[in-house]
């Protein structure tokens, strides 16, 4: 069976035609990353993904991880893939060379990870969490902490995790009970238990560095009293060598629906009162500091969900081209008509086009967030810098919440295209759908992403985040109106954007009134309609680039025509549904709040 991850033509389209990644090379920070270098890096990432990592996806799913006598092991096939990942320095692509990174734009790293994560995201979680934990050390660590941990984490010699969740404090991190008692030498004795810790223990590296949220004895209750600590699996001596085991014990592995290749652990810290940590950053600032990693992780989770969707789409398209079943609809009365590939059936084409528009829009969105992050780091103008930061902040809940919702939906369409074969393990859709489902839950459930969008991002900086986003969308609309054949689509997107502005103003006002609970009952639909408008923006932007190419003799004519068909379908078949959802949000119905709990039954 042919194996699929991502469509290289579409990857190149977003990189070079939509976002023009090589233009970043005019900035000194990215001077080495011209088009030739960009293409080489994406090609190498694709080769590693297809040849070495992709074969481990099914192995990881079937073998899973194992806890035996306190030791956690991963599938043997993961070890070669991990060695190659380290050898190619793929773990910290956007980070500085002196710390073990490659100094590349985050946009380019996003494209490389489109392949790497897409090949086996359960495996790549070990790398993603290590990179995120390393970023915490780089940003908040002391010079000594950086010297001891950073290079080894960014190169994959050591790995990292994120210890937030506790049995009685899931999404409510402020309710955690893990404690930190200060010692005379300035270290802290850590005591507590954490659950659902991805990559929490394994045998891929000789040490695992745990950023741990805990409360220092006597600190305030809630999130205001939480601090962040570095707690290694094995203590690290001042010369960088490994010391004693640090009393971080894996007490269980979760039996999960998907991502079997990643070790999701329950960890006990200080069960023998021998767990030592060092403060990372400032006391009682742990949640603020951890949000750096959480925001990065949320973008990674969006990419994880998307990686399942793009693979599901490619599998479904190719299956539909090869699977022959049923006569053509126009030949139903002809008893001698031969079966046709199912891609010729109208409902299959509808499902494939639905998958296509979301995959294309989501890829553009995810890459765009990386691009904005790059520009925020290199432009000189303070207002422009703030704008790009605002766009990243505003789009992060969409890139995590909306993208993973739609990715799971795309996997569902892919399974439906396969029919009964999609539901069995012999074919890839079954695993893709199982793996994808977790992305809607972890790193802040999608309901929390919706609450973040409504409760924080909408009003932040007096609404400037929203205005900056709307401003960028309006630029694309204005440009598209000048392109033959796109004006009608642009007007439909403009209508949806204006309606979204009305909805945002209404919901923001309602959230500040006595109807606040009803407003937040509409937070999720608000995230959905915001995501739909962002998708329409991305598809219109893509069509604005593609349409002029159709006037030329072009070997990629079918690809460019497909971009125009995508915005046509989205504005004709999906945005009208969005408009209905917007009306529902404007109603801000109070039934979810007013219904008596007893009415739910149970």
Distance from the first to the final alpha carbon of the chain: 46
pLDDT score at 408: 98
Tell me the mean pLDDT in the region 409-429: 97
Tell me the mean pLDDT in the region 422-428: 96
Tell me the mean pLDDT in the region 115-135: 96
- Tell me the backbone φ, ψ of residue 120, rounded to 5 degrees: -170, 90
Distance CA 139, CA 132 (A): 11
pLDDT in tens, 196-226: 999 999 999 999 999 999 999 999 988 899 9
Residues annotated as catalytic (active site), given as ranges = 443
Tell me the mean pLDDT in the region 340-345: 96
Residue 85, SS3 per DSSP: helix
Grade residue 602 by pLDDT with cuts at 50, 70 and 90: confident
Which residues are CB-contacts of 231 (< 8 A; sequence separation ≥ 6)? Answer: 163, 190, 209, 210, 211, 212, 246, 248, 269, 275, 276, 277
Burial 555-587 (b: 16+ CB within 10 A, else e): eeeeebebbbebbbbbbeebbeebbebbeebee
pLDDT in tens, 502-559: 999 999 999 999 999 999 999 999 999 999 999 999 999 999 999 999 988 788 999 9
Tell me the mean pLDDT in the region 336-364: 97
Instruction: Answer whether residue 153 shows pLDDT above 60.
Output: yes
pLDDT score at 222: 87
- Whose CA is closest to 369, among 310, 300, 437, 308? 300
pLDDT score at 175: 76
Domain boundaries, the chain: 8-154, 159-285, 446-594
Grade residue 66 by pLDDT with cuts at 50, 70 and 90: very high
pLDDT score at 100: 87
Q: Which two tokens stand for residue 71?
A: 């030791």
Tell me the mean pLDDT in the region 38-49: 97
pLDDT score at 553: 78
pLDDT score at 174: 67
Tell me the mean pLDDT in the region 228-249: 97
Instruction: Supply the CATH classification number for the domain 159-285.
Output: 2.40.110.20
Q: Which residue has the higher pLDDT, 174 or 353?
A: 353
Which residue stretches of 233-345 are H helix? 286-322
Instruction: Answer whether residue 296 shows pLDDT above 90.
Output: no
Name the CATH code of domain 8-154 (choices 1.20.58.220, 1.10.540.10, 1.10.10.10, 3.40.50.10470).
1.10.540.10
Tell me the mean pLDDT in the region 255-282: 97
Residue 133, CA atoms < 13 Å, CB-side half-sphere:
35
Instruction: Answer whether residue 171 shows pLDDT above 80.
Output: no
Q: Are 39 and 25 in contact (CB under 8 A)?
A: no
Distance CA 429, CA 318 (A): 13
Instruction: Answer whether residue 102 shows pLDDT above 80.
Output: yes
Same fold, 8-154 and 159-285: no
Q: Which two tokens stand for residue 365?
A: 């969105």
Burial class (CB in 10 A: 0-12, 13-18, 19+), 362: buried
pLDDT score at 1: 53
User: If you write DSSP's letter for every residue of 264-277 in order, what string do you get?
Assistant: EEEEEESTTS--EE
Grade residue 167 by pLDDT with cuts at 50, 70 and 90: confident
Distance CA 82, CA 67 (A): 20
Q: Give the chain's mean pLDDT.
A: 95
Grade residue 579 by pLDDT with cuts at 50, 70 and 90: very high
Distance CA 118, CA 133 (A): 21
Burial class (CB in 10 A: 0-12, 13-18, 19+), 482: exposed
Distance CA 294, CA 300 (A): 10
Distance CA 102, CA 94 (A): 6
Residue 579, SS3 per DSSP: helix
Grade residue 169 by pLDDT with cuts at 50, 70 and 90: low
């Amino acid at each position: 069976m042919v194996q699929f991850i991502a469509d290289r033509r579409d990857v190149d389209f977003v990189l070079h035609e939509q976002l023009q990644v090589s233009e970043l090379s005019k900035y000194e920070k990215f001077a080495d990353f011209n088009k030739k270098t960009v293409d080489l890096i994406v090609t190498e990432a694709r080769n590693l993904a297809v040849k070495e990592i992709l074969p481990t996806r099914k192995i990881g799913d079937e073998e899973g991880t194992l806890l035996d006598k306190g030791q956690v092991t991963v599938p043997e096939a993961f070890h070669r893939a991990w060695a190659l990942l380290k050898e190619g320095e793929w773990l910290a692509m956007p980070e500085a060379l002196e710390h073990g990174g490659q100094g590349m734009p985050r946009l380019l790293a996003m494209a490389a990870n489109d392949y790497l994560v897409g090949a086996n995201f359960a495996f790549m979680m070990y790398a993603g969490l290590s990179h995120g934990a390393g970023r915490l050390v780089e940003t908040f660590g002391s010079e000594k902490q950086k010297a001891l941990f950073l290079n080894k984490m960014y190169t994959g010699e050591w790995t990292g995790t994120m210890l937030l969740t506790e049995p009685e404090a899931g999404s409510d991190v402020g309710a955690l009970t893990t404690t930190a008692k200060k010692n005379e030498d300035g270290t802290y004795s850590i005591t507590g238990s954490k659950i659902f810790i991805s990559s929490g223990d394994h045998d891929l590296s000789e040490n695992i560095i745990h950023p741990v949220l805990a409360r220092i004895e006597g600190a305030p209750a809630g999130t205001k009293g939480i601090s962040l600590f570095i707690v290694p699996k094995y203590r690290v001596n001042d010369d960088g060598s490994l010391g004693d085991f640090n009393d971080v014990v894996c007490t269980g592995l979760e039996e999960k629906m998907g991502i079997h290749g990643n070790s999701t652990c329950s960890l006990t810290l200080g069960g023998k009162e021998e767990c030592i940590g060092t403060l990372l950053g400032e006391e009682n600032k742990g949640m603020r500091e951890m949000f750096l990693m959480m925001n990065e992780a949320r973008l990674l989770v969006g990419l994880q969900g998307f990686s399942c969707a793009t693979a599901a789409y490619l599998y479904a398209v190719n299956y539909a081209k090869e699977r022959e079943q049923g006569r053509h609809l126009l030949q139903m009365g002809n008893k001698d008509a031969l079966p046709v590939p199912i891609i010729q059936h109208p409902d299959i084409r509808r499902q494939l086009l639905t998958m296509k528009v979301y995959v294309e829009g989501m890829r553009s969105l995810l890459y765009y967030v990386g691009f904005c992050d790059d520009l925020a780091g290199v432009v000189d103008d303070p207002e422009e810098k703030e704008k790009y930061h605002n766009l990243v902040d505003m789009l992060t809940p969409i890139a995590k919440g909306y993208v993973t919702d739609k990715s799971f939906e795309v996997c569902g369409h892919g399974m439906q295209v396969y029919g009964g074969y999609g539901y069995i393990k012999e074919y890839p859709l079954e695993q893709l759908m199982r793996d994808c489902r977790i992305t809607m839950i972890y790193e802040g459930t999608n309901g929390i992403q919706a609450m973040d969008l409504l409760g924080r991002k909408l009003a932040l900086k007096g609404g400037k985040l929203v205005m900056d986003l709307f401003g960028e969308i309006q630029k694309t609309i204005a440009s598209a109106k000048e392109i033959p054949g796109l004006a009608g689509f642009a007007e439909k997107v403009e209508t949806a954007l204006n309606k979204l502005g009305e909805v945002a103003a209404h919901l923001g006002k309602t959230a500040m009134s006595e109807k606040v609970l009803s407003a937040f009952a509409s937070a999720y639909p608000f995230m959905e309609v915001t995501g739909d408008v962002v998708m329409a923006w991305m598809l219109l932007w893509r069509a604005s680039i593609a349409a002029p190419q159709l006037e030329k003799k072009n070997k990629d004519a079918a690809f460019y025509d497909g971009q125009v068909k995508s915005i046509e379908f989205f504005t004709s078949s999906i945005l009208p549904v969005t408009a209905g959802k917007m009306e529902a949000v404007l109603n801000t119905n109070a039934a979810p709040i007013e219904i008596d709990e007893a009415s739910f039954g149970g």
